[in-house]
Amino acid sequence: MMNNGPQSVAKVGCAKRWSLLRTALPLVALLPLAGCGGAQPEPAAEQYDVALQQFLSAGRDSFMLGRYTVAETQYRKAASLALLRDSAPEIAESGYDLAVSQLAAEEPALARATADRTRRAVALRGGHAMPYLDLVDAAACYRLGQYEQARDLALRAAQGASAASAHRGVGSASALLLNTRAALVYALAADQQNDTAALARVPAMIAMTDPHAAKALSATQSVALRADQHEIQALVARRTNPTEAWKQAEEAANLRREGGNYHDMARALALAARSADAVGQKDKAQALWTRAARVRLHRVGWPATCPARWRPVWRGQRIPSAPLPRTTPAHGPVLPVA
């Protein structure tokens, strides 16, 4: 017994240590998971209404998948909850998102109405003017062929973005994107009006690009910004230097493709087609028109009024011998309806 004593004590000590280790090991293994708390906590205001946040999140996800009508439904629900909350910033946010979805779903008139209602609801609650709303309203006006209003609203959006940027002391990334997009809408409207003096003023609108703000952009945002800049340069150069305009428009189309923005890609291709036509390259212009029209058709679907001879084009079976119509409305080529 005496001989076994220390061994027994040692065995008991070993067993205790092992037991302690077994308890501590899982805890140590769990420690790295503490890093999961690395993300910043959300602002308290965002957590009050989970339903509103869910609708906004679901709307964004649907929009990103190209399900614009689904996004519209979600944003409409978010907008009604924002009204229930009587919160001006949230009304503005959800109203803007709803209008953008309506515009993407080819409903510019509804987008205008939404922007207008949102603006009035925000003003009623003492909210500030929102340049984002002016931008979507300007784009809707452009789609509706109301170019003068589109220009006014785009100018106001650009000025609002510059003012917001100056107010914060440093240029923010979102203000930079907003300003450039507003300049693009302005240039598109001026181009439709053949107003060369207005087009000449556009480069000054985007001249002051803050390098800090440009650095803060994500890869996707950076591609979108460059595409906007190229398209603006193409619009400005179209009448004076169509070769340069062609090059810039094709570059813009390539960047749009990279960014997955096919609506804007079709418009850039149509612009390249017009520039190629002005240079005298009829065949290349026709090919560009066909490409632009095909992208556009895939996106908006096939109208019932379309003649049967164009259907194979949509299905990708053959390129027609006759070119697609060259008289374009504001947002790119459409199908012949006769």
The residues binding other proteins (CB under 8 A) are: 32-33, 35-40, 50, 53-54, 56-58, 60, 63, 93, 96-97, 100-101, 103-104, 132, 135-136, 138-139, 142-143, 150, 174, 177-178, 180-182, 184-185, 188, 220-221, 224-225, 228, 259, 261, 263-264, 267, 330-331
> Can you tell me the distance from the alpha carbon of 226 to that of 172, in angstroms, rounded to the nearest whole number?
17
Cβ of residue 24: shortest distance to other proteins, in angstroms?
Answer: 19
Cβ of residue 183: shortest distance to other proteins, in angstroms?
Answer: 11
Cβ of residue 241: shortest distance to other proteins, in angstroms?
Answer: 23
Cβ of residue 182: shortest distance to other proteins, in angstroms?
Answer: 8
What separation in angstroms does the CA of 282 have from each of 211, 223, 273, 279, 310? Answer: 40, 30, 9, 8, 20
Decide: 249 and 264 in contact? Cβ < 8 Å. no
> Looking at beta carbons only, is 36 or 204 nearer to other proteins?
36
Residue 264 token pair: 């804007």
> Looking at beta carbons only, is 2 or 31 nearer to other proteins?
31
> Looking at beta carbons only, is 217 or 279 nearer to other proteins?
217
Cβ of residue 145: shortest distance to other proteins, in angstroms?
Answer: 12
Cβ of residue 301: shortest distance to other proteins, in angstroms?
Answer: 16
> Looking at beta carbons only, is 206 or 313 nearer to other proteins?
206
> Looking at beta carbons only, is 191 or 286 nearer to other proteins?
191
Residue 299 token pair: 């996106």
> Looking at beta carbons only, is 280 or 301 nearer to other proteins?
301
